Every structure is written in C-alpha cells, then in structure tokens.
Amino acid sequence: MTSNDLIKLKTLGELRKSGYTSRTIGEELRSNLILRLQSGQPSFDGIVGFEDTVVPDIERAILSQHNMNLLGLRGQAKTRIARSMIGLLDEFIPVIEGSDLNDDPLNPISSESKALIAKLGDKTPVSWMHRDERFVEKLATPDVSVADLIGDVDPIKASNMNLDYADERVIHFGLIPRSHRCIFVLNELPDLQPRIQVSLFNILQEGDVQIRGFKLRLPLDIRFVFTANPEDYTNRGSIITPLKDRVGSQILTHYPKEIETARAITRQEAFVSADQKKSITVPELMENLIEQISFEARDSEFIDNKSGVSARLSISGFENVMSTAERRMILNKEKKTTLRIGDLSGMIQSVTGKVELVYEGEQEGPYNVSIRLIGQAIRTTFPTYFPDPESAQRSKDANPYDPIISWFNTHELGLEIEEGNKQYATLLQSVSGLEKLVDKYLPGLEKDEKPLFMEFVLHGLAEYSLISKHILDKSFGFSDLLNSIFSAEDDSDWHSAN
C-alpha cells in the first residue's frame, strides 16, 4: 500500500485488515538505506565532503542497526548528519491516537494504550505520524536530570487518580520514553554528568527504565545518536566507559580536506539574498580566499586547534563579505558590483567571534590575528594564479613584477575600501605594468573581474614583502618598501570598513 492509502486507515481493525506489518526503527533505517544504495541515490541529503569517509561508516552502522556516537570538532556537521537520518525512515507510521509514547497499535508498550485496546478492540483510533515528527534532540548540559531524560513520579497525578506511587500510571515520562520509535540525538554527551549517563545503560542494552527505584519494563524502540567533541573529554567531562561500550559504532568526522569541498559547503549553507545574487558577481578567486582563511586558521599558531575552527566561519564570513560589497554598492548608488579583496575586511567580524586563541593569540589580539589570517590566505593563494614571487626573484629570467615594483619607487597608490567601481578600476589602471601582467597570465578575464585581480596582485606583492601596504579605517595604500621603513604609520592594523 502507498502512504496515501495507509493514512486513510483510522482504526486498529482497518490497520489489521490492510495487512500492515510493523517494523522496528532499526529495520526501517536498514531497509530504506539498502533501497537507496541499490538505486544509486545519495544516502543523506546535504552532506558534502564525507562521501568517501564518514558516510560509509554511518551506512555500516545503520546496516548493523547500531546506536552511534559522532565524534568530531565543532562545525563538522555532526548534528546535520543526525537530522538527515530521518530521510531513511518510513514516511508514515501508525500510532494509537493520543498515546504519550507513540505506541504501535500492533505492539503497544504503555499501560494506557493496552487498556484502551482492551476496551475498544478493533475500534481503537489510529493516527499517522510523519517521519519529520520522529526526531528528538537534546543538548547535554550539567543541569540535565534523570527526570528530564527518563521521567519521574508525578504526585499530583497520583493524587488526582487516587493511585499508588508504585503504579506505572503515576509516572510522568521524560524525553527518551516519549521518543519511542524515533531518532533521539543527545548532543555534547561528555557534558552529561556521569550519574545521568548511568541512567542510559538499561535503555541501551535491556530496554527497561528505572524511576526512583521503580523498575519499569519498557521495550523502547529508539535509535540513539550521540555527538561529542574530543576536546570535551579533558576540558569538561568524559563519556563513561560502560556507556561507551554500549554504543555500537563510534564515527569520526573531520573538516573539509579540499578548498573545492569547502566552497560547496559554503554555497549550500550561506544565506545570500535574491538581490545580492542578482547584483554582486562572486569570482572563484574570492570564494577560494574566503575558504583559505579558514584553512589558515586551522593551522595557525595563534589559534587553539583542539577547539577547532568551525565551517561556520567561512559561511558567516561569506555572508559578511557579500554584505560589505552590497553596502559599498548602495553607498555609491550602483546597480552592480564585483567582490574585491578589500571586501574581506567584512570577514574580520566572523573570524574574531569563531576562534579560540591560545596565549600568544591573546597577546596578539583577535583583531590582529584576523588580519594575519587574511594576509596568509592571500599569500598562499597567490601562486595558483600568478608566478611565485620568490621563485621569480631567484630566476635568471626577467622578473615579471619588476615594472610594478619600479613604479612604486616613485609613486604611491591609495584605494578607498568603499570606492565606486569606475574610480576603483581607474586607480588600478594607473599602476604601470599591472594590467599588462594580469592580461598575460589570466587572458580572457571578464571586464568586471580584471580590477579584482589587479588589486590581488598588489596585495600578493605586499604579502611577499616586495612592496609596502598600510591600511587605515576606510582606505589602504601601497608604496615603495624602502619608504615604508621610514614611515610613522602603523602598517599592522587593518580596520573594518563597516
């Protein structure tokens, strides 16, 4: 029967006559995964960069019907992976209408549902639960109690119903029993106090719960997905060994390994308005630079690598860079623009809020660390588009950058970060040899992109210490390296344009 046919069944009798067969959540996930693998469809939607590493591990865990622990640093899509698993559940499952525990009409576990079936028989009302409703998520914090997760005796309920405390009906169930037949995600598991972790033992292995010494047999059918950050094992807590032993599969996640993968993730996740898409051109160079800043941060001596550098740095950074260009365009009353190197100033706000600095980084300051990361990204990316300046200097052949360097011996160039498109291009064209260099190594560039690469050359030469660069609040300038030695200006500060 199709899903549309199933949801028309409204009573237990109709469900039985239809020939419907109940499946455990493990069987659902396993069989639906097999169908996807056989058809060549991706197992999970929206998961980028894990196709050959993490995803096969998760598939094996699902085929083995394991609970799993996703272990990785922040911003490695652990929660997204868990949420995407609902796509492998059946579209609808039947539940006894009004049941607190999502009771299966053909296999109820709560006393209330059993009593209702005993009373109404085949007339017991049945409703249908969509797979989107079968995902429950809880963040583990030190204040989470057993009552929150498992449940507790409700004295008011006992009094109103005139029941003894030993009666199952006086229990107010917590999140986990109410997640029967669902995927239950417990984020940041090491933050959960050890005595609370102990309460999960029987649920994972024996399928029963204990509430205030009252042992209750509840064969809960739940697929547990835990997430944890390796840093938390030492800094905030740990997963106790007996609980870890009961989790079938531990799966290690990771950050994107290539710029192309990181770019795909950012494109998928970043919010870009329709107006921005229509009016702002985003060259590949700018996408690469934004991602390279995150890569540089993960290797930086100023940043605590154990804490990790979330993929959200690139995502929010891209959004801020787009907004920086949009603001510039609005101020200049322009209808279209192209991203520039100067627009990376907008990314500073994203970097400073998303990295944990070590002592040396704190001494340097988050602002200056951000500036260094942008500079390092430019330096790393530069040789992929133009000749390596260090190799060019050592070569016996003519240095392609000599005309530009020579021009700065007698000239200076100042660029406003919020400069209009025409003036921006005109100023860059005034640098002797700059446009000719770009035309030589990047022929066929779109007209609107050429000024970006001309500016990129200047920033690249500055990062290789061939010319000088100093930046003020809303402008930055380039000059001869020797002259900068005698300058009283502070060349280390790059202030945001916003």
pLDDT tens-digit profile, the chain (498 residues): 778 888 889 999 999 999 999 999 999 999 999 999 999 999 998 899 999 999 999 999 999 999 999 999 988 999 999 999 999 999 999 999 999 899 999 999 988 899 999 999 999 999 999 999 999 999 988 888 888 888 877 767 666 666 665 666 677 788 998 999 999 999 999 888 888 888 888 778 766 666 666 666 778 899 999 999 886 554 556 888 888 888 999 999 999 999 999 999 999 999 999 999 999 999 999 999 999 999 999 999 999 888 889 999 999 999 999 999 999 999 999 999 999 999 999 999 899 888 999 999 999 999 899 999 999 999 999 999 999 999 998 888 899 999 999 999 999 999 999 999 999 999 999 999 999 999 999 998 999 999 999 999 999 999 999 999 987 778 888 999 876 555 544 444 433 333
Q: Which of 199, 228, 252 is the last residue of a domain?
A: 252
Give the model's pLDDT for residue 205.
73
Q: Which of 184, 217, 252 is the last residue of a domain?
A: 252
Outline where 150-221 has alpha helix (H).
155-161, 194-198, 201-205
Q: Is the dihedral of CA 294, 137, 128, 58 positive or negative?
A: positive
Residues 221 and 286 in one domain: no
C-beta of residue 90 within 8 angstroms of C-beta of residue 169: no
Q: Give the global pTM.
A: 0.85
Give the model's pLDDT for residue 494.
39
Residues 8 and 150 in one domain: yes
Quick one: three-class SS letters along 382-444?
HHHCCCCHHHHHHCCCCCCCHHHHHHCCCCCEEEECCCCHHHHHHHHHCCCCHHHHHHHHCCC
Residues 207 and 311 in one domain: no
Residues 279 and 240 in one domain: no
Residues 237 and 356 in one domain: no
Asked whether residue 494 is assigned to any structural domain, the reply reads: no
**Minimal CA–CA distance to 150: which of 108, 182, 197?**
197
Question: What range does the domain containing 187 cover?
Answer: 3-252
The two tokens of residue 89 are: 């559940």
> 184 in helix, strand or coil?
strand
Give the model's pLDDT for residue 242.
87
Residues 244 and 379 in one domain: no
> 236 in helix, strand or coil?
coil
Residues 234 and 334 in one domain: no
Asked whether residue 79 is assigned to any structural domain, the reply reads: yes
Q: How far apart are CA 82 and CA 116, in angstroms?
A: 34
Residues 84 and 222 in one domain: yes
Asked whether residue 283 is assigned to any structural domain, the reply reads: yes
